[in-house]
Structure 1
Amino acid sequence: MMCREGCGACCIAPSISSPIPGMPNGKPAGERCVQLSADNLCQIFGRPERPAVCGGFSADPQVCGETSAQAIQLLGWWEQMTSVA
């Protein structure tokens, strides 16, 4: 599956514990990454400062669904199911 251009769900729904330029402590789940542009594109895509976890993410129907709204819901659910309490 290819990423839907302008989706941005993977930059909003999950937590990211790695430092991100502008977010040295990473980001909590549900918070928009500061590197996500207004048109939902990664501003540091392909650059060395992009966290490895971001570069390693691959779009998949199980986490991205059929729409961007489904992706937010599914990624949020996966975040909840895999987070340590």
Structure 2
Amino acid sequence: MNCVITSQRRMAQYGFRARPPVPCRLAFEAAFRIFDVMIGEVAVSSGRALAHACREGCGACCIAPSISSPIPGMPNGKPAGVRCAQLLDGERCAVFGRPERPACCSGLRPSDEMCGASRADALAWLARLEADTRPAAPLASAGDSA
């Protein structure tokens, strides 16, 4: 029931009335994926500045981070700093809002902190996050020779 309350609050912050709880959690989550797409498209098409709406022509989150899981067109994932195969010429995602969009992508939400004031700010923040969260090289054990 906690995810229902959280989702209802999330809809309310954008001015939508929440519907009664859906008994099937998967159906409920699918509805909110559609809601997220709708909010993103409204923000871009209307020119309205929603809090944390994606910046048109940015695509930083599709370039800077590495992705270790398979994604459409990149079965071995994506290295940091490489354009995603799904990033179109206008810096728009070809699989945004579609079922094949990876969970790692739909889970990354734009924020003032991440996106900054420009595409350059977003690329720098994401590159710093990538570097800060990169796994450390394995330490040599006492039995290893140098």
| TM-score interval, normalised by the smaller of the two chains | over 0.9
Distance 1:67 1:73 in 2: 10
**Structure 2 residue 84 is the aligned partner of structure 1 residue 33:** yes
Identity %: 60
Amino acid at match of 1:7: C
Distance 1:84 1:58 in 2: 23
Amino acid at match of 1:37: L
Which residue pairs with 1:79 in the alignment?
Answer: 130
**Structure 2 residue 90 is the aligned partner of structure 1 residue 68:** no
Q: Give the RMSD, CA atoms, in angstroms.
A: 0.8
Q: In proportion to residue count, which structure has more helix?
A: 2
Amino acid at match of 1:83: R
Amino acid at match of 1:43: A
Once the two structures are TM-superposed, the CA of residue 64 in structure 1 deviates from its matched residue by 1.2
Which residue pairs with 1:18 in the alignment?
Answer: 69
Q: How big is each residue's C-alpha offset from its partner over 1:23-49, in whole Å with a ceiling of 9 and x where there is no partner?
A: 001100000001000110000111111
Distance 2:90 2:71 in 1: 19
Higher relative contact order (CA 8 A, sep 6+): 1
Q: How many residue pairs were aligned?
A: 85
Could you tell me which runs of 5 or more consecutive residues in structure 1 were left unpaired when the two chains were aligned: none
Larger Rg: 2
Q: Given the two structures, how large is their TM-score scaled by the length of structure 2?
A: 0.56
Q: Given the two structures, how large is their TM-score scaled by the length of structure 1?
A: 0.95
Distance 1:33 1:25 in 2: 12
Amino acid at match of 2:91: N
Distance 1:4 1:12 in 2: 14
SS state at 1:33 partner: coil
Which residue pairs with 2:108 in the alignment?
Answer: 57
Distance 1:44 1:20 in 2: 10
